[in-house]
Amino acid sequence: MSKIKKIVLAYSGGLDTSVILNWLKEKYGAEVITYTANLGQGKPLDSIEDKAKNTGASKVYIEDLRKEFCLNYVLPALKAGAVYEGKYPLATALARPLITKGLIEIAKKEKAEAIAHGCSGKGNDQVRFEVTAKALNPEITILAPLREWELNSREEEVRYAKEHDIPLEIKEESPYSIDRNLWGVSIECGPLEDIGQEPPPESYQITSSPQDAPDEPTYVNVTFKEGVPCRLNGKEYELVSLIEKLNLVGGKNAVGRIDLIENRLIGIKSREIYEAPAAVILHYAHRELERLTLDKDTFRFKEIIAQKYSELVYDGLWHSSLRQALDGFVNQTQR
């Protein structure tokens, strides 16, 4: 392998990617460029640039991809009815190919030989990043420090950060691993690993409990045009804004909580908690509308398509020829 001179790192500003940034520079003697995508994480990204540069990044890219995410990734999955194993609306799985596309584009622009991510060796995301990257650029080198380095715990990472003067905001450690975007929140680890216990109230991020939800019902009217949700209670919205509105309304009314024992693509089972108010509302409304508009055979066959589509997305095969072919069938049903 030729010497790596430039690396583009998928960067969140958290402990893992901050330590990875320094570790990559130290191990490869390379210039590290960070890339951060705004997908509606629910937290400000104002400090990301300063944090990355103070940690040693030569350049910092931050892109607002919320509109592209909703139109080009969420919307096709919604039209297809893609809900993994009947429950998970695929928020994280849909985000990964878009983030990877950004990494590859910046790598091309900067003439970087490699990209890097902060995914562990036990999760789905490592596969999603790497399969997508190779589909877009078969020649790119992919670095996965969490699978390679000698740091085996959070405590060791914190110690490394202090030894290398990496700026950190050390807060009380949450036992949960949380990933959030506009289409939903994924929550795992900590007390959730005991499948005999219900999720602790503090594990939820954006939804009220049924006990705290309003006693009076909230009525929501969603208008679709060719499979695209375009109006909410008669008022026209861009897709990003419509999803944001439904997340607020649904979350307040305890809609969108999902507790799932999930078959991961790497072959293990995992308990996952999801919050997806807008996704649950829109998938339900869209499916009920299709009951009215599709003939029996098309409706039943589309159920089969929905399952396969969800599996392809979950398994990181967004760029597969089969998924793209399924879009052709799905779009025909939405006219």
Active site residues: 16, 96, 125, 177
How many whole angstroms separate alpha carbon 136 and alpha carbon 124?
Answer: 19
How is 224-273 classified by DSSP, letter by letter?
A: EETTEEEEETTEE--HHHHHHHHHHHHHHTT--EEEEEEE-TTS-EEEEE
Per-residue burial over 81-118, b if 16 or more Cβ lie within 10 Å, else e, is: bbbbeeebbbbbbbbbbbbbbbbbbbbeebebbbbbbb
CA distance 179 to 262: 16
Which candidate, 132, 92, 113, places its Cα nearest to that of 33? 113
User: Which residue shows structure tokens 């679709």?
Assistant: 224
Reduce the DSSP state of residue 26 to 3 states and report it.
helix
Query: CA-to-CA distance for 230 and 241, rounded, in angstroms?
Result: 10
Q: Are 93 and 265 in contact (CB under 8 A)?
A: no
Three-state DSSP at 292 gives: helix
